[in-house]
Amino acid sequence: MLEQSGLPLTVGQFWWYSFCYWGIFAVITFGQLMMLWLLKMGVAMQPHEMFVWLLDGLFWWSTTPLVLYASIRVPVAFKVRDGSSIIKPILFHLCIVTFLNIFINVLHFYITNPLMYRAVGRMVPLENYLFSFFIAYTASFGQYLLLVVGFNKVSYIYRYQQLKQQHFESELHNEQLRGQLANAQLQSLKMQLNPHFLFNTLHSVVSLMVKNDIRKATLMITTLSDLLRAVLVNQSADFIPLQEELKLTRQYLDIQQIRFQDRLKVEYHIDPASELYPVPQLILQPIVENSITHGISDMTTNALISITSHVSAAGMQVTVYDNGLGAASRKTTKGMGLGLQNTLLRLQQAYGTKARLEFQQPVGGGTSVTLHFEGRIEQGDNGGSRSGNI
């Protein structure tokens, strides 16, 4: 019964609280009986009469589990649902009270009464029991119903609070799982990008070695080593300041300039206000790689890659532009492969709708990819966190 009610009570606590409940009414009843005896007979209650009163109190105390079990099975709810009526549960409990009152009076008449006759030589007439039954019936029903309604209410409140707490803990747990999932997805995407540009760079090294250009291959490997070392320094950070991201991008472009030599020119137009803006690590590298692979790789001269950043009230924009063939290139659609797709996925995972990628290829040639970050960086932010309003 205690498990069904959901109340955090031990068996001992249950019997103690029920004893206190019935004890209050027993003391009130004892005072009433004393006054009735004094007014009617002019004498106080006799010990054998007090014994009967004590038996009545113990009887109702012992019925507490039955009463509460009945209240669980047929609760008295004042909120009518599905067209149900409160009359049926009240009639049900009225039958139980009637049965209990008849049972205690029968018990007194057939067991207590003979014992009293042997002890004091007196018996209580049947009329007195009938009188007691009808006099005490209303009071016993009120006490019974008060216990039923009170128990239902307390049990409901406790279960409601328990469900509320469980719901809160479940929501907190789900939020933690969502955060862990998002972080795992970000790490997965980043781990896909690292070998992506690594394999391409090593392929360039192999090409130089095949051409017997050992000096350039050695310089490219050394620069690649510096780039990987810089990546490993920030391996645990999902977000780094833009100035750190630009350092990684410069190192990658240094590797490419070894490959292209004088054919490739790189320009930077960086707004100083954007340098501390936190961005996902290696967010620019796949965009720059896309510009080289699908934009300027076939150009024999005057290849240009320009990186521009700008901060406004709406947020920050970073644009990577190349002057390649753009829409006229047959390889352009292939450029929307792993690199840019992962970049877009990383933005969605990290920022949701607060960041977007814009891909443009004007008719006159060239390609520009712009990253838009909504919000602004707050004072005191560092490279390991996002901007304050993102």
Cβ neighbours for 87, distance < 8 A, ≥ 6 positions apart: none
62 lies in which domain range?
2-171
Residue 85 located in a structural domain: yes
Q: Which two tokens stand for residue 312?
A: 């406004």
Residue with tokens 């292939």: 334
Q: Which two tokens stand for residue 202?
A: 């090593």
Cα–Cα distance list, 363 to 141, 199, 305 (Å): 91, 32, 18
pLDDT digits (tens, 9 = 90+) for 94-128: 888 888 888 888 887 788 777 776 766 666 667 76
Residue 176 DSSP SS3 = helix
pTM exceeding 0.85: no
Residue 181 located in a structural domain: no
Instruction: State yes or no: pLDDT of 227 exceeds 60.
Output: yes
Q: What are phi and psi of 58, to 5 degrees?
A: -65, -35
Considering the domain architecture, whether residues 271 and 136 belong to the same structural domain is answered as: no
Considering the domain architecture, whether residues 260 and 154 belong to the same structural domain is answered as: no
Instruction: State yes or no: pLDDT of 161 exceeds 90.
Output: no
CA angle 174–179–181, rounded 5-degree value: 90
Is the Cβ–Cβ distance between 232 and 266 less than 8 Å? no
Count structural domains, the chain: 2
C-alpha 203/C-alpha 222 separation (Å) is 15
Considering the domain architecture, whether residues 165 and 235 belong to the same structural domain is answered as: no
* SS3 track for 63-112: CHHHHHHHHHHCCCCCCCCCCCCCHHHHHHHHHHHHHHHHHHHHHHHHHH
pLDDT digits (tens, 9 = 90+) for 312-336: 988 999 999 999 877 665 444 444 5
Is the Cβ–Cβ distance between 303 and 323 less than 8 Å? yes
The mean-pLDDT minimum among 41-45, 302-306, 309-313 falls in 41-45
By CB neighbour count within 10 A (0-12 exposed, 13-18 middle, 19+ buried), where does 262 fall? exposed
Residue 63 located in a structural domain: yes
Domain finish residue from 120, 147, 171: 171
Considering the domain architecture, whether residues 164 and 27 belong to the same structural domain is answered as: yes
